[in-house]
Amino acid sequence: MSVEDDLRLYLAEQRAIIDAFPVEPLRAVAEMLFQTYDAGGTVFAMANGGNAGTLDHAYCDFKHHPFVSDDKTRRISPSVKRLRFVNLCSSPAELTGLVNDLGSDDMYAAALEPFVTDQDLVMAYSGSGNSPNVIRALEVAVAAGARTFAMTKGDGGRCRALADVCLVVPGSSAFPGQTGPNDNNFHFEDAMLSVNHMLVGLLKQRVAAAQQR
């Protein structure tokens, strides 16, 4: 295939995924997000590799975007409740310390366990659905009675059984770099950013509607 053919393949695969994208899990996690916000709970989120970088983007959006005016020229009243959002991937010092002391499989569980409650939402992103550090943290969240959401691909792995809501990105890929064990990985990572944007936008809409009552 030519470079142009490969590029068209990627875009065609992406369109097919969007057309088949499961909306019901998105609706369900949006409801859990609203419940967490209304209860004054905290959103905890975790991922590995490049997806941890995407969560840094999500942290910024969730923490700030629902609480500014549409034209971004002013913040809404400080009296409006904000969303508490903790990116468990955010501190290299904390993560390397936990890995050094406890091992990589327990790094997110150790960061989460002392703080998570039944008022919180734990969001887990794992392409395989089987990342040990994500699975152990989800187990901690379930034990605490927290709301749980996972985003995966393929067959959903263990995340599918653990999470209250599991969004499995559909499709398969023949594009270079995301075949074999990495099947659909680029599309999964693209979709992760879109899911976070949809949730941020819905929360912004809910916050704005509450201000008009």
DSSP string, 181-207: GGTTHHHHHHHHHHHHHHHHHHHHHHH
Residue reference for tokens 């985003």: 151
**Span 16-29, pLDDT tens digits:** 999 999 999 999 99
Check whether 212 has a pLDDT greater than 90: no
Percentage of the chain with pLDDT > 90?
Answer: 88
User: In this predicted structure, which of 138-142, 160-164, 206-210 has the lowest mean pLDDT?
Assistant: 206-210
Contact assessment for residue 88 and residue 137, using Cβ atoms and an 8 Å cutoff: yes
**Span 143-164, pLDDT tens digits:** 999 999 999 999 999 999 999 9
**Quick one: average pLDDT of 125-152?**
97
Cα–Cα distance for residue pair 31/182, rounded to 1 Å: 31
pLDDT at 85 (0 to 100)? 97
Q: What is the CA 192 to chain-centroid distance, rounded?
A: 7
* pLDDT bucket at 95, cuts 50 / 70 / 90: very high
3-212 CATH pick, 1.10.150.240, 3.30.413.10, 3.30.450.20, 3.40.50.10490: 3.40.50.10490
Phi/psi for 113 (5° steps) reads: -60, -40
**Span 35-87, pLDDT tens digits:** 999 999 999 999 999 999 999 999 999 999 999 888 878 778 888 899 999 99
pLDDT at 213 (0 to 100)? 65
Q: Crossing angle, helix 3-19 and helix 185-212, to 10 degrees?
A: 40
Q: Helix H segments across 131-184? A: 132-144, 159-162
